Amino acid sequence: MTQPTLAVIFDPLVQYGFMRTGLAAAVTVGLTSAVLSCLLVVRHQALLGDAISHAVLLGVAVGYLFAESAGVFWGALVVAVLSGMLITYIERHSPVKLDAAMGIIFTGAFALGLAVISITKPRGIDLIHILFGNVLGVALEDLILTMVSGFGVLAIVIVRFRAFHLWSFDPLMAKALGMRIALLEYLLIGMLSATIVAALQAVGLILVIAMLVTPGATALLLTTRLRTMMLVAALIGVLAATGGLYLSFYLDVASGPAIVLLATAAFILAFLFAPRRGVVARVVQRRRQARRVLTEDLLKTLFNAEDPHAMMSMAETDGWLLSRSAGRRELQQLQRAGLVQLNTDGGARLSAAGREEALRMIRTHRLIERYAYDADGIPLPELHDIAERLEHEIDPVGLRDIDRLLGEPTVDPHGHPIPPVGGGLQRIAGRTLSDWPIKDVGQVAMIGDDRKDLMERMVELGILPDRAVTVIRRSDDDLIVRIGNHDLLHVSRELADRVYVIPASDSAQA
Partner 1 sequence: MTLSVRDLTVTYRNRPAIHGVEFEAPSGSVTGVIGPNGAGKSTILKAVMGLLRPDSGTIMIDGRPFEEMRRSVSYLPQRLALDWDYPAQVREVVAMGRYPHRRFGRRPSAADRMAVSDALKRVGLTELATRQIGELSGGQQQRMLLARALAQEASTLLLDEPFVGIDAATVALLTGLLIDLATDGACVVVVNHDLATTSTMCTYAVLLNQRVITQGPIDAVLTSDWLDQTYATRFVDLESSS
Binding site for partner 1 (CB under 8 A): 42, 44, 159, 162, 165-166, 168-170, 172-173, 175-178, 220, 223-226, 228-229, 371, 374-377, 397-398, 400-402, 404-406
Instruction: Using the minimum distance from each CB to partner 1, give the nearer residue, 53 or 218.
Output: 218
Residue in 463, 461, 372 with CA at minimum distance from that of residue 413? 372
The rounded Cα 91 to chain-centroid distance in angstroms is: 30
Instruction: Using the minimum distance from each CB to partner 1, give the nearer residue, 249 or 371.
Output: 371
Q: Mapping DSSP to helix (H, G, I), strand (E, B) and coil, where does residue 388 land?
A: helix
Instruction: Using the minimum distance from each CB to partner 1, give the nearer residue, 147 or 406.
Output: 406
Burial of 429 per CB tally in 10 Å (0-12, 13-18, 19+): exposed
Q: How far is the CB of 225 from partner 1 (least distance, A)?
A: 6
Q: Looking at residue 414, what DSSP letter applies?
A: T
Task: Determine the Cα–Cα distance for residues 272 and 218; give it in Å rounded to an integer.
Answer: 11
Asked whether 326 and 320 are in contact (CB, 8 A), the reply is: yes
Q: How far is the CB of 195 from partner 1 (least distance, A)?
A: 21
Q: How far is the CB of 413 from partner 1 (least distance, A)?
A: 14
Instruction: Using the minimum distance from each CB to partner 1, give the nearer residue, 306 or 408.
Output: 408
Q: How far is the CB of 278 from partner 1 (least distance, A)?
A: 15
Cα atoms found within 13 Å of the Cα of residue 234, Cβ hemisphere only:
14
Q: Mapping DSSP to helix (H, G, I), strand (E, B) and coil, where does residue 68 land?
A: helix
Q: How far is the CB of 177 from partner 1 (least distance, A)?
A: 6
Handedness of CA 274, 279, 280, 285 (dihedral sign): positive
Q: How far is the CB of 164 from partner 1 (least distance, A)?
A: 12
Residue in 50, 154, 38, 148 with CA at minimum distance from that of residue 106? 50
Q: How far is the CB of 461 from partner 1 (least distance, A)?
A: 27
Instruction: Using the minimum distance from each CB to partner 1, give the nearer residue, 171 or 420.
Output: 171
Q: How far is the CB of 411 from partner 1 (least distance, A)?
A: 16
Residue in 486, 413, 400, 399 with CA at minimum distance from that of residue 449? 413
Task: Determine the Cα–Cα distance for residues 15 and 361; give it in Å rounded to an integer.
Answer: 68
Instruction: Using the minimum distance from each CB to partner 1, give the nearer residue, 3 or 224.
Output: 224
Instruction: Using the minimum distance from each CB to partner 1, give the nearer residue, 300 or 366.
Output: 366
Instruction: Using the minimum distance from each CB to partner 1, give the nearer residue, 20 or 165.
Output: 165
Asked whether 296 and 313 are in contact (CB, 8 A), the reply is: no
Task: Determine the Cα–Cα distance for residues 204 and 479; give it in Å rounded to an integer.
Answer: 85
Q: How far is the CB of 220 from partner 1 (least distance, A)?
A: 6
Instruction: Using the minimum distance from each CB to partner 1, give the nearer residue, 166 or 293.
Output: 166
Report the phi/psi class of residue 254: left, alpha or beta, with left for phi > 0 and alpha for psi in -120 to 50.
beta
Q: How far is the CB of 451 from partner 1 (least distance, A)?
A: 27
Instruction: Using the minimum distance from each CB to partner 1, give the nearer residue, 66 or 169.
Output: 169
Q: How far is the CB of 214 from partner 1 (least distance, A)?
A: 16
**Helix or strand run (H / E) with residue 447:** strand 441-447
Q: What is the residue type of 409?
A: P
Q: Mapping DSSP to helix (H, G, I), strand (E, B) and coil, where does residue 125 land?
A: coil
| Nearby residues of 45 by Cβ (< 8 Å), 6 or more positions away | 98
Asked whether 316 and 388 are in contact (CB, 8 A), the reply is: yes
Q: How far is the CB of 230 from partner 1 (least distance, A)?
A: 10
- Give the phi and the psi of residue 490 in degrees, each rounded to 5: -90, 125
| Nearby residues of 156 by Cβ (< 8 Å), 6 or more positions away | 187, 191
Task: Determine the Cα–Cα distance for residues 496 and 164; give it in Å rounded to an integer.
Answer: 64
In the chain, the N- to C-terminal Cα span, in Å, equals 88
Instruction: Using the minimum distance from each CB to partner 1, give the nearer residue, 153 or 226.
Output: 226
Instruction: Using the minimum distance from each CB to partner 1, give the nearer residue, 302 or 399.
Output: 399
